[in-house]
Structure formats: C-alpha cells, structure tokens
Amino acid sequence: MKIEDLKKEALQKLEKSASIADLENIEKEYLGKKGRIRELSLSLKDLDLEERKQAGIKLNNLSNSLKEKLELKRKMMKLMQIQEKEEKEFLDITIPSPKIKRGHIHPLSLARKELEDIFTHLGFSIVEGPEIEDEWHNFDALNFPLNHPAREMQDTFFIKQRKREELSQNEKLILRTHTSNVQTRYMEAHVPPIKIIVPGRVFRSEATDARHEVCFYQIEGLLVDENVSVANLKAVLESFLQEFFRNKEVKIRLRPSYFPFVEPGFEVDMSCLVCNQKGCSTCGKEGWIEILGAGMVHPNVFKNCGLNPKNVTGFAFGVSVDRLAMMKYKIDDIRWFHSGDLRFLKQF
Ligand code: PHE
C-alpha cells in the first residue's frame, strides 16, 4: 500500500513539474541516496521473505519507471527550451530591408549641370581654376588698376601673408572674386581659338541679403578667335538663356557698362519671365532683369596674357549660377541654397 501511495505521489509531482529544476528536485527526493524509495526499501527488513521479495520487485519497478519518466520529461523540456530560444532569436533574412531614402541633387548642382550641357552642345569646353588666387590673375592681368575699388576690403577676402606688402602681385593671395581669373590663366597657357566656360565658386566680403551671398557660383564664358563680334556674343547669350529657361521667347538687351577687362562692356538684361514684360515686383516693373556681365575682351588683357590684340578678338561673359537657379526654380532668397534646410532641398 505504501508503495502505491509513493508511486501516486511521485507521478503527481512529475505531472505538475514545470522546469528542469523541478525534475531535479523530484529525482533527488525519490531516487536519491537518501530518497524516499531507498527509505522505504530499508523499512522492508521487517517483512517476511516472500513479501519482502514482492515489495522489492515493486520498488525496483517504481524506481525504474520513475527514472524513465523523468528522463523523458527532461528531454521534452530541453527541446521546448531550444524551440523557445529559436523563436525568440529567429532572424528572417528574407524580409526586405526598410527602403533607404533617396538623396537629392542640390538645385545649384542641378543648374550647373544643365548649363554645362547647354554650353558643351554649343561647342564650349569646361575648364576649372583655383579658388585661392593671386592678385595678378584675379585683378592686374584683367586690367584692374591698382586702386580699383573692387580690390578694397569690402569686396575681397585677402589672405593673411607675412610681409604681404613686399610680395609681388603674383604672390599676394586672395579668394577669387569672380571666375574671370581663369580667363587670364587659360589665355596664358593656350593659343586661340579658345572656347571655354568656367563654372566655379567665388567669394565676396559683402553683407548678405536675399540677393547677395559671401560665396556663390558663377559661370564664365570666354571665346577668342579672329573676327569675333558683339553679334556673336549676343547670339550665344540668347540661345543659352532660351535653352536654360526652355523658352524661345526669352529676349536679351545689352546696356553699356564698365568692367576693366572688356571694351565695350555690357550689363545684360533678360526679359522678365514672371510677368512676360508687363511689369511685376520681380523685375521692379521694368520688364527686364539684369542677369550677367559681358563684353569684348580688352586689348590690355590680351597683352597681359601674351597674345597680340591685333590678331585676335574675343568676348567674355560672367553669370551667377545662383541667380539663374533662383529665376528658374522661383526661389525668392539666395540664402536658401546654403541653409541646409531639408524642407527646401527636398523640393528638387
Ligand atoms: N567678372 C564679372 C563679375 O563678376 C562679370 C563679367 C565677366 C563681366 C566677363 C564681363 C565679362 O561681375
């Protein structure tokens, strides 16, 4: 009777066990050296031989079947543990990853690229030059007199150099104020015909406002050959603007102006696309917007670059990429470009 009770009790505990630790406790309690089965078998010595034998067999069977059952349950629990772990740590490498958001080309790069395409189709090569320039190439070679106001502190970023006043014009460094520095560099090194554009960054120590930045982009154009005329200049400017604004109606007009490196020099206006020349706030009711400087290359510039002005003629122009981009994409403030504001940049 006692054996049956013990068996019942052990099986119940086994039934309720929920962890490997539970199983170990049961094993120790019933099958251990000082366990309940052992305890019971020691108490058999008072029985007579036959009864002792029968009880011994029963106890032995109980011990064996309990061992087996414990082993079975332990195996099941281990399997379940592994399964749980696998479920927790499961990594499905076939799930598509979250989409990486696409970046945007900056509107200035967009405009620059488009301008480069237009001019290469017109037969111009793309040339670059240094942003840190010497005064000779930025000013003197371009026929700027030494006392020209453009050199003064409010316009030019001068670079601190030891004993600057003792250096030659070729050694005094500045941040270039226009891309015209590459006109002189290129003419020094190449023989005509020359047909280049020079995209690049320029720097001016100015107060910034909606239309002015200390750093902006220009594209310089230079064409040098025999018998170049203002008519050629006008034709190139008109067709590039018509292309850039995808509008055959774009007209330009030249107004006489002064740049030391051209003669005659012009400020070039284009017809206002916002109001179709009816007059609006963008063009100040003029119907025209000033967008570039241009002119016929000054004989002194040719001389300074080692070319004979009797043999060659040429035109040059300089246009702000920022202004063109502002007109094309209808941007009302130049400072947006360098603001790093994603709300602005994401529109392009
Ligand atoms: N370099 C002049 C500027 O930055 C523009 C210009 C270029 C004018 C070429 C005439 C010819 O204002």
**pLDDT exceeds cutoff 90 at 3:** no
Quote the ligand 1 centre to 230 CA distance (angstroms). 15
CB 264 within 8 A of CB 314: no
**10 Å Cβ neighbour count for 61?**
12
Q: Which atom of ligand 1 is nearest to the CA of 293?
A: 8
Taking residues 181-209, report their average pLDDT: 95
Q: How confident is the model at residue 32 (pLDDT cuts 50, 70, 90)?
A: very high
Q: How confident is the model at residue 77 (pLDDT cuts 50, 70, 90)?
A: very high
pLDDT in tens, 169-188: 999 999 999 999 999 999 99
- Our answer on whether the CB atom of 318 is closer than 6 Å to any ligand 1 atom is yes
Taking residues 9-17, report their average pLDDT: 92
Q: Which atom of ligand 1 is nearest to the CA of 218?
A: 4
Residue nearest ligand 1's atom 12 by CA: 293
Q: Which of 143, 144, 180, 298 has most ligand 1 atoms within 8 Å of its beta carbon, as the pocket-test mutant?
A: 180
Strands, E assignment, 205-329: 215-225, 252-257, 262-271, 288-297, 313-320
Q: What span, in angstroms and rounded, lies between the C-alpha atoms of 142 and 302?
A: 9
Q: What span, in angstroms and rounded, lies between the C-alpha atoms of 196 and 181?
A: 13
Residue nearest ligand 1's atom 9 by CA: 317
Distance of CA 78 to the CA centre of its chain: 52
**pLDDT exceeds cutoff 90 at 299:** yes
Q: Which of 341, 329, 262 is nearest to 297 (CA)?
A: 262
Among the residue ranges 137-141, 246-250, 275-279, 299-303, the one predicted with the least confidence is 275-279
Q: What span, in angstroms and rounded, lies between the C-alpha atoms of 35 and 217?
A: 92
Q: How confident is the model at residue 116 (pLDDT cuts 50, 70, 90)?
A: very high
Q: How confident is the model at residue 150 (pLDDT cuts 50, 70, 90)?
A: confident
Q: Which of 216, 177, 182, 178 is nearest to 198 (CA)?
A: 182
Which residues partner with 203 through β-bridges?
Answer: 215
pLDDT at res. 260: 94
Quote the ligand 1 centre to 113 CA distance (angstroms). 20
Q: Which atom of ligand 1 is nearest to the CA of 318?
A: 7
Q: Which atom of ligand 1 is nearest to the CA of 320?
A: 4
CB 144 within 8 A of CB 304: no
Q: Which residues contact 333 (CB under 8 A, 6 or more apart)?
A: 210
Omega before 96 within 30 of 0, i.e. cis: no
Quote the ligand 1 centre to 236 CA distance (angstroms). 16
pLDDT at res. 282: 74
Quote the ligand 1 centre to 294 CA distance (angstroms). 6
C-alpha separations of 59 from 6, 12, 23, 24, 225 in Å: 10, 17, 20, 20, 118
**pLDDT exceeds cutoff 80 at 1:** no
**pLDDT exceeds cutoff 90 at 29:** yes
pLDDT at res. 153: 57
Q: Which atom of ligand 1 is nearest to the CA of 265?
A: 10
pLDDT in tens, 233-286: 999 999 999 999 999 999 999 999 999 999 999 999 999 887 889 988 777 889
Q: How confident is the model at residue 199 (pLDDT cuts 50, 70, 90)?
A: very high
Quote the ligand 1 centre to 180 CA distance (angstroms). 7
CB 278 within 8 A of CB 307: no
Q: What percent of the chain lies above the pLDDT cut of 90?
A: 70
pLDDT at res. 127: 98
